[in-house]
Structure 1
Amino acid sequence: MPIADELRSGGMLAWEPYCEIRAADTDQEKMRELYKVLNSGGDKVKSAFYSQLVKQEPCLFEALGSIAQTTEALIESLNKYKKWIQREYQYVTEYNSLPGEYVLLSERYTQPLITMKHREKKSKKKRCALWEGVSSSSLSPGITQTRTAPSWIADNKGISPRSVILQGNSGNGKSFTAQKIMLDYASGNIRREEFDCLFHLKCKELNLISGEQSLAELLSHNSNLASDQISQILQKSPEKVLILIDGFDELRFSYSDPSSMPKLSHVSEKGPLEASLKALLKGHILSESFLLVTTRSTATKTLGGLLKHPQRFTEIIGFSEKEVEEYFQRFFQNEDLSRKAFECVKANETLITACSIPVICWIICTVMRERFSDGADVTSGLETTTSIYVDFVSTLLEHHSQGLSQSVMILLRSLGQLAERGMLEKQVLFEEKSVCDTVSDPAGSPFLCKFLFKRRIRQETMFSFMHLSFQEFFTALYFISLAERDFLDKLTERFHSQTQSYLDLYLDEKCPLKYGCPEPHFLPVIQFLCGLSNKEVSSSLKETHNLSVPSFVQAQLEEWILHVSSNRVYNFLPFILHCLYEFHEKEFVQKAMEAWQELDMSWDQLSRTDCWALLYCLDCCPHFRNLKLNFAAAELKMLQPKIVGGLQIAVKSISADTAHILTDFLQSKGKWEEISLRTDDSESLCSSLRLFSFEGKLVLNVVRWCSSSQNEPSLSEIILKCPHSKASSINVKSFLQAFHSVNSTTEESADFDRQVDALLSQLPSVSGLSAINLSVPVLTEAWASRILFLILVLDWLFDAGSKGSDGAEWLPGLLMEEGIKCSKSSERCTHHTKQIEELSCNQRVTIEFCGEKCTEDVK
């Protein structure tokens, strides 16, 4: 009140607001009333208040000044942090870069396709972007793209996720995406109101940290901020902090008993690495912050149980064909060369499919660049994933072998030993001494990357393989160099790690892998072993590096695959398909797939590479009776070369593109019995699309399911029947679009009549059309008049009525007598006239016109 009194006596405070201040019961209420005066009084009143505050409350004034200085210091620290990120993240060291050789991230990064899904396998996916509505200004000349900022959009229940899991297979671009997010933040490409600060934790580096650490100290390892500065930032506005945790599957947790782990609750509280991380993941520390965690799909279940809620699951599934073309443009930086390379790859279905995996896309570009310069055939010998890696390794060795201090054979074996040790210990970073003890002159190896890792008081030289997939490849390469007993001992341990106490029960002496199950992180190694057993690949290894693949490798793996197939272990089915593709031996594929008379893979969306492996196996085995799949429209093209009997496909959406591809599919097939597409997506053109044979005719059946009684479709079903030979006359894409347009409007809409007419006007163009069935909620006069108009134009049987939402029972319809008219009075329908007059409303009427004859069926 002394301040208010001085303002009043100085003429700065009117009597009425002064009374309001005095009348307030508490100091807080008094301050609110005074603030109203200051807010509306202008600079003069504020200046007077400021002077009185210094005079009346010097301690408070000093405290406020200290807070202002602290805030200003934090802002300055954040600005320096952003500049540091720009310096550290704007460049990317390519996997085979020489020391000091870099490329700009903006000149190489191509955003992969990311889909949103639930953790459960059966849930549908939809395309989404982690990064939303932000344009990048540092892209290469001539290339314009839109990049995105972290998407924390609320779901249909208004809930925003606190944790986002970005899962994906090795090489799909998870770490590159994390790097791009950090660079976009530092460059100002994130909306300012969304996040004040981003931190990046690299799990492969966290494994090297020993001793107790607070969360603030962990975050300081990959930043230029001190731990006390980070603590201040985290406490000031935790709800505007995003923490990226990259490579969760690479973490090595040491606690076997989680209950003995200390519980941490503050950013500055020290504890073991695992305790600090789990407190962050579970939300015991920084519960209001946001998390984005990247991981391989194999670790998703474990991670989901550790993360705070609400959660969002996304999957990075690689490049589409369009993104592959963009990547080629960025890689070659030469329009003519990139176009030539892309056209070569596009003409080879194996390569364009392989390029959907970003790391393999880079490998193929690198190989093609070398082959262009040598004048060699740019795509020969690149058939399986393993063959691509073998060719790439051979290419690098050819161009670097002169500088090696040891023979190629010794180098490959030593790299394999290092890789295997890393796989066993789940280690991707290796200390310099450890590497030098295994690999002579590691800095000169074209397959290892060298970098500095920041310890507390020093920097340490570390090594890693150019990419995790190469660590897996070299592990497989090492295994084929072993004697049979050593090979079996090592793989038996990996196949029976979960059943060690029951090993005698689960072990077949002749085929020890048979009853086992490989560790999830070891699956890529097994796939590479299958690929190395391929005759052409093993022949290439023998020719170029004098490296033979023993027959027992293939024999043991084949025995395991036959056992899994005979027991129809569905969890392993996609992996088995890839292994069979890597073997690339038709007779064995047929033998392995004998048990799979029916394939149901609709529980999860297949990637482009999954589809390619599946297609190869189906081409080898024409005996399949039933196939259920779930993939996007673009992948449907890959099935066109297959002979189809019955094909049921569950798709995430039936779009115009799906319909167009289906039309091409129909026109390219001479023999098939049934094709059906179904979806639960309410935004689709339809819910179900079936094409099947009935009484020697082709039947097209389109259905829109009713999600509720409130939004019953205007036209729930339409069935067309025509000769098989006239299938090409049905424009499925246009027909579905018109069907969707009818159901997008109501009968009360002014646009409804036009949409219905547009749909029915397509029917006369269908050659040989012999029957139509329309299912509508109520058969009104408008529908009846349209039906009779079509009858005058066409000469076939016609059935019109209405069905229930389940499609099973006919409901009563209404056919107005005024609508039953023909062009000639002699052809006017008179049969059952008396019965028609006696009909009550909404009773079903079926009218059949066949040439000059007309029959009526009244029920």
Structure 2
Amino acid sequence: MDQDSECARFVDAHWATLVQKVIMVMPVADELWSGGMLQWEPYCKIRAADTNQEKMRVLYEVLHSGGDKVKSAFYSQLEKQEPCLFRALGTIAQTAEALIESLNKYKKWIQREYEYVTEYNSLPGEYVLLSERYTQPLIIMRHREKREREEEMCAVGGSFQQLLISRNNADKDSSVLDALFSADNKGISPRSVILQGNSGIGKSFTAQKIMLDWASGNLCREEFDCLFHLKCKELNLISGEQSLAELLSHNSNLTSDQISQILQKSPEKVLILVDGFDELRFAYSDTSNMPKLSHVSEKAPPEASLKALLRGYILSESFLLVTTRSTATQILGGLLRHPQRFTEIIGFSEKEVEEYFQRFFRDEELFRKAFECVKANDTLITACSIPVICWIVCTVMRERFSDGADVTSGLETTTSIYVDFVSTLLEHHSQGSSQSVPILLRSLGQLAERGMMEKQVLFEEKRILDPPGSPFLCKFLFKRRIHQETMCSFMHLSFQEFFTALYFISLAEKDFLDKLTERFHSQTQSYLALYLDEKFPLKYGCPEPHFLPVIQFLCGLSNKEVISSLEERHNLSVSSFVQAQLEEWVLHVSASRNFSFLPFILHCLYELHEKEFVQKAMEAWQELDMSWNPLSRTDCWALLYCLDCCPHFRNLKLNFAAEELKMLQPVLCRTPELELNSSCLSDESVLQVLNALPKQKIVGGLQIVVKSITADTAHIHTDFLQSKGKWEEISLRTDDGVTRE
């Protein structure tokens, strides 16, 4: 760097101090004018200014437009006219040395401050290590198409996991920062990056991890000498005029002067993280009255300083990373300097969920129990793609373990987890809506119900009544012909189903029954008079297939503990008629022994989680034939709970795989007659099945149905029978009826 550049950096770095401290402004201006560095018109403006501070601000406009040569001339004159001030500021070399020392202290401060996190339920003084919570999420480096959004919204379980993995196009082996600022296929690296994500998806955690990695020397990218972190929540609390350097000092142990020096020394090696842009209470729709800033030390309202940074009016050479919810992406994209890149956190795949659970529990046995439990529930493992739900589920499971609860009795109901999620977002991610919580939830519920009725998961923005600050809605842009359109959605179809159920419980009894009756009798409208019980109009009905998850959530919302939670947290009451109507329908279906509805009924009973009613409903199911369709892990968990509530049942027929059998072991020992049907069992699987049963005190028979019986299979079967004399009968047969006993 040449001498003029060094002098210019010195002037910029100390400008805030110079404005306040320089007394000999006119002698300096006189020399600059006589040396041809200052034109007559600005010289007159300087003379006309009332105070030295105002004179210096006018002078800086000339210095800034004149570049390094003019700043160097100013530096030389200042050295002559203000020797005492110059000694106080130090030489260029002394300034650089002091800057390095300040930067090292700043890194240590970041390490101390960012190493820990406080959780949603942390008491004063409680914290955990960031390393025990942070799991790197999947990131997509482009806008998704409408079709892709719809696919993700409707997929669950394994299909959802495959979609997530296929969408991710960031290098999972590289750090987040490397992925975000990597060159594109045209060789262009962005100066500004938008990192979008839904509420609770991990945007702020990711920003904290980036800061900690930099301060700890764990960043691969060497071009960033310094990182600063602007928290938008904190900017909302700042009043009065402040420079950008002062704004950055709020989340730092550096003074605004030190920050100004760092920013001016090498702005091309500075990255500023603006975290939570959507949380700003500033109005950026009309920015015509905002002052146009050109220096990091110029004072202005916070929104003007931030806009100057985003636009590139100041620190145009620096890098920006801005996190935001989708609701503010369009505004941000219009403000941000170019070249810019859009990226989005899409959450956890099952692999990251497993990693998160392992970090959370740290005890291998507890981790494995908890993860296997959640993995067995397709709805929950899908919802756990959202990191905050991972945290909620892990927290609930940890409490169960600490209370000595038997993990085989199941996780809290799926509905209770969704209620906890809603409560968490309302408390920690809501933007202070003027609407009360019941009204806000009702408007969301009305939108959700309309989508369910029209089988729609994406909504036009203009049809959304809910305030834009709602943490439960996602917003995205997509191209349509020659223009853009904006659509909104819930985070996933399961949340739309949940909010529909939440809306129904808020209705008066007549409105509730009218809406549910229409859904239960849509196929029998012409025979409605024959199939309608006036007291229990749902009784003889059959819900529409796409409406079944809503019924499950309604059962979950009828659970006593969930009702208590809703009343305590949100002043929402659930009338007793809701549970009465649902229970009457469940009892009717059970009494009619409609086996095609059996898995669904088991899920409803699991969500109700009322032991006495489960026993009553299960009385009709003394023989449980579920062999006509393979059991999913979710089915097994519901079956396990229901059978655990019922000490007496006679016959159980299952279509299974080895993993499902392992889940059901606790109740198989109480089954007098057990038929295990699977047409895809290998010899090894048959052996696993038989080895899973020796500890069972089974009385009666076991029948295993396989595709074919080999000599090895028969040998395994007979050898087991001879060694386990307590079994009355074990049979092995093929689909065509050939039996070996």
Q: Given the two structures, how large is their TM-score scaled by the length of structure 1?
A: 0.43
TM-score by length of 2: 0.49
Higher helix share: 2
Higher RCO, 1 vs 2 (CA within 8 Å, ≥6 residues apart):
2
